Chains A and B, each alone.
Chain A
Amino acid sequence: MAFINAETKKINENLSSINSVKPTKKANVWNTFKRDYQLWLMILPAIVVIVIFNYIPMYGIQLAFREFDFTKGFTGGEWVGLKYFDQFIHNYMFKDLITNTITISLATIILGFPAPIIMALIINQVFGKRWKKTLQTTVYLPHFISMVVMVGLLNVLLSPETGVVGHLMKALGLGDINLLASEKIFVPVYVLSDIWQHAGWNSIIYLAALASVDPQLYDSAKIDGASRWQTIRYVDIPAIVPTMIILFILSMGNILNTGFEKIFLMQNPLNLPVSEVIATYVYKIGIISSQFSYSAAIGLFNTLINFVFLLAMNTIAKRFSNISLW
């Protein structure tokens, strides 16, 4: 007990000292550390894990600037600087790859971001507990379907001759369009099937946020005569805005990440002009001759652009709200 009181006293003293006088730099850091040592202890395991498993292997990034030479080990190869970055940018395919990648990514973000939110808001409005549970469980299930099976499913259902969707389209008079064949329809099919598969799962986090809303807020809204729609606007949505902002910043940090497996499985000669993205290209040049340095360079290029976007978004979010990553 005495120990704790002494602690508290020290904390209070530090608090007041920080508020009043500006101490010397050295004392400040030490005091902070002494005061916050418990916090440091709590965060230590996470830091250790990240440092060991994420930062130690980071020397691998320099491979993008070196010729990979197995006999000399990972860091022994000849330094070639920006050679592979150059090679990539001046590549015949560069413009198309970037265009396709950004198109698919942006479409996925723009359409895929609101979908889970809307779904969460809708499900949240369902009154019967049983129905709500059933609906929730059903919508998150597609998330577990593996990519290979998912694309197989798409091929079967969307086939113009034999698929359910194909039959529907024939009934609507659109029988001539082959959903799997057209360049123009590739991106919508890709994005919509992505939403179909993941919106339910992604809505879980918003549902959890909505579940933490103080019921008193709903009561006072009702007392004030708010309609259901107004309730959503003024109670539900503000409750999930912090989550929304953070998730949006993070998704902007994925601007050049399209994911490899699904696109690779969906590619065919007819849609190739729009479906060849950075990830599939890297895979193709990789399997033929282990081009470690080249693929490392492309990967780094990819990552840098993503990171710049993330920084930009984070700064914007900080300016206009006080919610941001750091």
Chain B
Amino acid sequence: MVLFNRKGKTTSDIIFDCMIFVFCVFIFLIIAYPLYFVVIASVSDSTLVSTGKVLLYPKGFSLFGYTEIFKDTRIWVGYKNTIIYTLLGTFVNLLFTLPAAYVLSRQEFKARRFLMFVFVFTMFFNGGLIPTYLLMKDLHLTNNMWVFIVPFSVNVFNLIITRTFFESSLPKELFEAAQMDGCTHFQFFGKVALPLSKAVISVVGLYYLVGHWNDFFTGLIYIRDYSLQPLQIVLRDILISNQVFAEGAGSGGAAGGYAQKYADQIKYGVIIVSTLPILLVYPFIQKYFEKGVMIGSVKG
């Protein structure tokens, strides 16, 4: 662990390093403890958890929460669907967004400002749920897996971020220089822009990926068949099934002691189950955030 590099340090730098160290530890603890709590709570007795008896280690250890979650066979269908929708969806997202962002970053493109306005406008004004639903119905996208992939494939926020990156890292001069050699926009995009933008592609790709992974609203409204539902819907169902309802007591027995004991385990277990895959994917993307990814591109 090399936190301090003693070579040529001034006092102010050492103080600086100390402060950074303190901050980092603070941030780490503040964030890590509740996450750790989630893990131990997912295997502890719920009653003990909600009365605050569980602090540093699990109490009343039981895997009921996880068995409940995994014995529901829908979860494997959910995992499968989500993986398909996420991979396919992210691919389409990038396919549409990256070229569009590139175009919008070219200052010589006359319609640039107008089109940007057209895109941004949709971030604010939309027709509402019902007209959108009717449109999906007319396009036969309801109860159909493509509703996860095509309709919302361009997220304007991500488009803007990508455009900003292209603007600052692909100046006009670069393209003009290439143009002299007979390069077209297509070629420039494919051969120069994309390789230089690994960082932003990773970020935007990650955003889209996580967007798909966490999406439960699309499935909620447009899908009827359980065989098409993504993971989040299944988890949400399991989660809500195991809450304890106040009105439930008389007109419903969910408050019965049996369900009571394990209710919260499921709540916390659900987080783990849904986050674990992302945790596995992230390290692969993270390496694109390393310093010095863009070596020697623009001189002067």
Contact = CB atoms under 8 A, between A and B. Distances in A.
Direct A/B contact, Cβ within 8 angstroms: yes
Interface of A: 4-5, 7-8, 11, 32, 36, 38-40, 42-43, 45-47, 49-50, 52-61, 63, 74, 119, 122-123, 125-128, 130-131, 133, 135-146, 148-149, 152-153, 156-157, 159, 161-164, 166-167, 196, 200, 204-205, 207-215, 227-229, 242-243, 246, 250, 253, 292, 296, 299, 303, 306-307, 310, 323, 325-326
Contact of A246 (B4, B161, B268): B161
B151 to A, nearest CB: 4
Contacts of A166: 52
A152 B31 contact: no
B271 interface: yes
A287 to B, nearest CB: 14
Given A58-B125, A138-B32, A253-B123, A227 B27 contact: no
A112 to B, nearest CB: 15
B185 A42 contact: yes
Interface of B: 1-5, 10, 12-13, 16-17, 20, 23-24, 27-28, 30-35, 37-38, 41, 49-53, 55, 95-97, 99-100, 102-104, 106, 108-110, 112-113, 115-120, 122-128, 130-132, 134-135, 150-154, 157, 159-161, 164-165, 167-169, 179-180, 182, 184-186, 189, 199-200, 202-203, 206, 210, 214, 236, 239, 264, 267-268, 270-271, 274-275, 278-279, 282-283, 286, 288-295, 297-298
Contacts of B236: 146
B30 A156 contact: no
Interface majority SS (helix, strand, loop, mixed), chain A: helix
Given A38-B184, A144-B278, A156 B32 contact: no
B110 A227 contact: no
A141 to B, nearest CB: 6
A196 B32 CA distance: 11
Contacts, number: 269
A57 B125 contact: no
A186 to B, nearest CB: 20
A214 B279 CA distance: 29
B35 A50 contact: no
A228 B289 CA distance: 21
A97 B122 CA distance: 25
A43 B17 contact: no
A47 B158 CA distance: 15
Contact of B203 (A38, A204, A299): A204
A145 B271 contact: yes
A60 B154 contact: no
A242 B52 contact: no
B288 A253 contact: no
Contact of B131 (A60, A152, A161, A228): A60
Contacts of A42: 99-100, 102-103, 185-186, 189
Given A46-B100, A128-B1, A323-B164, 7 more contacts: A38-B184, A204-B203, A214-B295, A215-B295, A227-B13, A228-B13, A243-B161
29 contacts: A8-B179, A38-B185, A39-B185, A42-B189, A46-B96, A47-B115, A52-B135, A53-B135, A57-B128, A130-B1, A135-B28, A136-B289, A141-B35, A141-B275, A142-B34, A149-B38, A149-B271, A153-B38, A162-B51, A204-B206, A204-B289, A207-B289, A210-B291, A211-B290, A211-B292, A229-B12, A307-B125, A310-B124, A326-B112
